[in-house]
Structures are given as C-alpha cells and as structure tokens.
Structure 1
C-alpha cells in the first residue's frame, strides 16, 4: 500500500507516466470527455470530491509547468478561479474560450472527472520537468 501521495491507482499511474509538456485535465462533472481520452472518474456525488481538493492532491504529486483555464470562469466562477490561481503559485496561467478549451482536451493524457458542480471548474495542467 502506498504511504504518501495520490492513492487512486489510475491517477497515480497517469501522473507517473507524464513527460514534459504532456497534459491532464481536472474537470467538473459536466465537461465532456472526448473519445479516446482516458477518463479517471473520481465523482461520487455532486460536489464530492471538489475541484479544489482534487487540484491540491494533483499539485502535490505533479510537476506543473503551466496551466490553462476557460475565459468564462472569470465571469461565472470567480471565487474558484482566484483560489485555483493562488494554488498554482505563480506558474504561467492562460485563458482561452471554453469552446477552444474543449478542443484542447482532445490531446489530454487523461481527464480527471470530479464531482464539482459549479460552472467552468476545469483546468488543463501541463507537465514540467523536475530537473
């Protein structure tokens, strides 16, 4: 049994397999998962687990180089955006229209589906290197 880090086997494996510039998505329960992209479904019920809790766990394990949010989060989910931005601790953070965000998810190594049930609670995390 693992003693530290991500206990979810599929999530732990995907993080371990990431190379530089590969990316994963942490998603609310409504974001569509494109065909062919691995879905790691953590959702238990609306709100559980939450987006921010999931982001915190992933950031403990993953070397994140930069991140991407949908523009619409700034208008529709400002509190979550501010908290997520603070958690990303100054890493480069860009915004794109939600439609473009969904197109980009087609190249993700995996989409981690949370129980988050608030609008635009999605982030793309690009893998960095530890050296």
Structure 2
C-alpha cells in the first residue's frame, strides 16, 4: 500500500503511461470533456483540490520538461497567484500562449486531470521530459 507521495491509483496509472514529450493536462473544474482523451476527475468541491496542489503532487513524482499555460492567466490573476505558479515550476521551461493555441494542444494529450479549481485560466499542460 502506498503511504507517501501520490496515492491516487488512476493518476499513478496515467502518469506511468506518459512518455517522452507526451502532454498531461491539469484542468480547472469547468474544463470541457474531450472525446478520446482519458479524464480523471479529482474535483471534490469548488476550489478543492486546486490546479497548483495537483501540479505539486504530480511534479514531485514525474519529470517535466516544459509547462504550457495560457497568456490569459497573466491577465486574470494577481501577483500572488502568479508567484505561486512560478514557485511550483521553478527550473522548468514555461511557455505562455493564447488560450486558443492552448486548447488546440489538448486533443493530443495523454490525459486530463480535472480539479476543483475555480481561478481564471488555471489550466496547465505539463510536457514530459
């Protein structure tokens, strides 16, 4: 029985199958479903868990080469939220792009982890190293 780190069996299974340069989406509560893309829903209530909480758990157990976020995240969220994001991804290449481009990447992702996140443009794509 796992007692430390990630203990969610569906998330463990998904990240174990993500290979070099594959993408993993961590999405907010309102993120749409994508046919053909495995989705693990870990939302409990609005705001729980957050995208940042799930990112921290995944990144502690998985090698990430790049993080993709929508440019709109910078417009809709304050300095504290942006600094928290930067802290979590420290040392990892970060790319900001228009949300339309971000969404265009989703159908080719290995999977989506949907959270209870309610922040504007909280979604993130993690690309394996």
CA distance in 1: counterparts of 2:109 and 2:67, whole angstroms: 13
Over the aligned positions, Cα root-mean-square deviation in angstroms equals 1.1
CA distance in 1: counterparts of 2:81 and 2:68, whole angstroms: 14
CA distance in 1: counterparts of 2:97 and 2:21, whole angstroms: 18
Counterpart of 2:74? Answer: 74
CA distance in 1: counterparts of 2:100 and 2:32, whole angstroms: 11
Question: Could you list the runs of 5+ residues in structure 1 that have no partner in the other structure?
Answer: none
Matching of residues 1-131 of structure 1 within 5 Å: 1-78=1-78, 79-128=80-129
CA distance in 1: counterparts of 2:81 and 2:112, whole angstroms: 19
Question: Could you list the runs of 5+ residues in structure 2 that have no partner in the other structure?
Answer: none
CA distance in 2: counterparts of 1:2 and 1:120, whole angstroms: 32
Q: Secondary structure at the match of 2:87?
A: helix
Question: Could you tell me the TM-score, scaled by structure 2's length?
Answer: 0.94
Post-superposition offset of 1:65? 0.6
Question: 8 Å contact 1:38–1:111 — kept in the other structure?
Answer: yes
Post-superposition offset of 1:3? 2.4
Aligned length: 128
Q: Secondary structure at the match of 1:3?
A: coil
Question: Could you tell me the TM-score, scaled by structure 1's length?
Answer: 0.92
CA distance in 1: counterparts of 2:35 and 2:77, whole angstroms: 27
Which whole-Å deviations, capped at 9, do the CAs of 1:23-52 have from their partners, x for residues lacking one?
A: 101111111121110111000110011111
